[in-house]
């Protein structure tokens, strides 16, 4: 007998898009086997076969829009002796629903999903619970068809971690394969596997409001990976301190007003002061050896400085800062950061640093915790200097105070050493003659 199968009762939803067709003409199908997937703004609905048989003709294609009663396919029904109805359980007491008119919740119920339906305590005519029920194995909010879900289940892949590349971010089989391959071939699958930790759960944020998708720049992707590795791999501690730079500021202003040379900001002074401190505390100008059993102390002072560019953070390196004059450094910083902002730095200009300074003083803020630029062992954060009242004896005096934040690798540097570093740095920055 040939029967027409139509879209069953799907609640109030009309004109809903067909996003997946899971059967083809000539295919033998069982009762309850999923036929098509529909997707509206609010729900994903999977329509199962009301009986077993052979598909004669499929009346829909992906992209069609359907409502209750729209024809899905024609099929030759298998005889009752071949258990045409799901699990052969033709209800004796219950009247059989008209083919294609069976409420979706009823189908889900017969598919053994009763507990979930009950726990949702939702009227049997609404569609969203069906979506919840049928998509629950890998979490709600995941867009994937039943065959993909089945495939993921077989492989033990959690779909909430898989990025969908199909239409509207839908997960296709290839995405699951790529995910599994990545996990299997990635650097270990332990707790601190960076790839596994970086995976974001798949959430459809558009359900909560308007969104916009933007690709991350290459610079941002590279720095994200480096920062994440450093953050996870290095036990960071940040030591804060203040430097009284009143005298330096007076000197800087005087020099700026008197010379036609490059404009002097605070940064070249801080760089010179940092080198003086590194010479006193060489463990800060070092890297841990590959096995972690030795410290490689460097006798050169190549200072990296973070530059904020439209495409993200870059860290060019000024070489042999110990041998450079303040004005020369100021000119170099201005020239390098201008090139960094138009992506004109050579890779070699971002290599070989021994210590990094991240200055947010030109922008503002009071303190922050910079992330160490691995394989270095410490980084200095500089925040905005501000005029503050400081007691000198009984007198409250206006002083220009510069906040400093030193993050260090606690495997290499002890807290006491870090405190000494920052105290010495503050001392140098308080006395221009010390440079």
Nearer to ligand CAO, 267 or 426 (CB): 267
In the complex, least distance from residue 322 CB atom to ligand CAO, rounded to whole angstroms: 19
The site string for ligand CAO over 323-352 (x = CB under 6 A, - otherwise) reads ----------x---x---------------
By beta-carbon proximity to ligand CAO, the closer residue of 310 and 393 is: 310
CB of 238 to ligand CAO, least distance (A): 13
Please, what is the minimum distance in Å from the beta carbon of residue 366 to ligand CAO? 11
Cis peptide before 375 (omega within 30 of 0): yes
263-322 residues in contact with ligand CAO (CB under 6 A) are 265-267, 305-308, 313
Q: What is the residue-wise DSSP string for 273-330?
A: HHHHHHHH-GGGSEEE-TTSS-EEE-SS--EEE-EEETTEEE--EE--GGG--HHHHH
Q: Which of 58, 113, 162, 385 binds ligand CAO (CB under 6 A)?
A: 385
Residue number, 73 or 378, with CB nearest to ligand CAO: 378
Phi–psi pair at 423, nearest 5 degrees: -65, -40
Position 382 contacts ligand CAO (CB under 6 A): yes
| Interaction of residue 358 with ligand CAO, rule CB under 6 A | yes
* Whether 410 is catalytic: yes
Name the closest residue to ligand CAO (Cβ).
Answer: 361
Rule CB under 6 A: choose which of 8, 145, 164, 361 binds ligand CAO: 361
152 binds ligand CAO (CB under 6 A): no
Backbone angles phi, psi at 263, to 5 degrees: -60, 135
Judged by CB under 6 A, the stretch of 295-303, 377-385, 404-412, 421-429 that binds ligand CAO is 377-385
Three-state secondary-structure class, residue 239: strand
Q: Are strands 355-359 and 303-305 parallel, antiparallel or unpaired?
A: parallel
Q: Is the dihedral of CA 316, 321, 324, 330 positive or negative?
A: positive
Q: What are phi and psi of 283, to 5 degrees?
A: -65, -20
CB atoms within 10 A of CB 115: 9
Q: Of the ranges 43-51, 130-138, 262-270, 410-418, which one interacts with ligand CAO (CB under 6 A)?
A: 262-270
Would you count residue 360 as binding ligand CAO (CB under 6 A)?
yes
Shortest gap between Cβ of 355 and ligand CAO (angstroms)?
A: 14
> Which of the residues 161, 228, 236, 410 is marked catalytic?
410
* Residue whose token pair is 């992209």: 63
**∠ CA 405-363-316, rounded to 5°:** 70
Q: How far apart (Å, rounded) are the C-alpha atoms in residues 311 and 303?
A: 22
Tell me how crowded residue 257 is: count the other CB atoms within 10 A of its CB.
7
Q: Of 99, 369, 67, 382, nearest to 236 (Cα)?
A: 369
Residues annotated as part of the active site? 410
Residues that bind ligand CAO in the complex, under the rule CB under 6 A: 265-267, 305-308, 313, 333, 337, 358-362, 370, 382, 384-385, 402
């Amino acid at each position: 007998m040939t029967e027409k199968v139509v879209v069953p009762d799907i609640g109030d939803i009309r004109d809903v898009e067909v996003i997946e067709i899971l059967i083809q003409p000539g295919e033998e199908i069982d009762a309850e086997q999923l036929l098509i997937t529909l997707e509206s703004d609010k729900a994903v609905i999977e329509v199962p076969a009301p009986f077993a048989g052979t598909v004669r003709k499929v009346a829909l294609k992906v992209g069609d829009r359907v409502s209750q009663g729209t024809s899905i396919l024609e099929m030759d029904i298998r005889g009752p002796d071949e258990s045409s109805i799901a699990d052969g359980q033709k209800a004796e007491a219950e009247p059989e629903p008209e083919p294609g008119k069976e409420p979706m919740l009823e189908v889900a119920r017969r598919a053994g999903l009763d507990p979930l339906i009950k726990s949702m305590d939702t009227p049997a005519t609404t569609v969203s619970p069906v979506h919840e029920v049928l998509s629950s194995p890998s979490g709600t909010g995941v867009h994937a068809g039943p065959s993909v879900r089945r495939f993921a289940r077989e492989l033990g892949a959690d779909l909430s971690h898989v990025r969908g590349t199909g239409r509207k971010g839908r997960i296709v089989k290839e995405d699951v394969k790529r995910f599994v391959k990545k996990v299997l071939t990635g650097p270990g699958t332990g707790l601190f596997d960076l790839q596994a930790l970086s995976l974001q759960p798949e959430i459809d944020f558009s359900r909560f409001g308007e969104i916009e998708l933007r690709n991350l720049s290459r610079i941002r992707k590279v720095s994200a990976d480096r920062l994440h590795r450093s953050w996870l791999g290095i036990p960071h501690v940040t030591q804060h301190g203040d430097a009284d730079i009143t005298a330096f500021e007076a000197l800087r202003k005087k020099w700026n007003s008197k010379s036609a040379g490059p404009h002097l900001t605070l940064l070249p002074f801080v760089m010179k002061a940092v080198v003086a401190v590194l010479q006193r505390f060489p463990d800060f100008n070092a890297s841990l050896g590959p096995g972690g059993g030795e410290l490689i102390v460097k006798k050169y002072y190549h200072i990296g400085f973070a530059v904020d560019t439209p495409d993200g953070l870059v860290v060019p390196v000024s070489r042999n800062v110990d041998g450079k004059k303040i004005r020369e450094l100021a000119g170099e910083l201005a020239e390098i950061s201008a090139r960094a902002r138009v992506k004109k730095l050579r890779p070699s200009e971002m290599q070989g640093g021994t210590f990094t300074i991240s200055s947010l003083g030109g922008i503002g803020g009071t303190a922050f915790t910079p992330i160490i630029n691995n394989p270095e062992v410490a980084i200095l954060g500089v925040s905005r200097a501000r005029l503050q009242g400081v007691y000198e004896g009984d007198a409250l005096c206006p002083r220009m105070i510069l906040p400093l934040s030193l993050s260090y690798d606690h495997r290499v540097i002890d807290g006491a050493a870090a405190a000494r570093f920052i105290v010495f740095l503050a001392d140098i920055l308080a006395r221009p003659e010390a440079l």
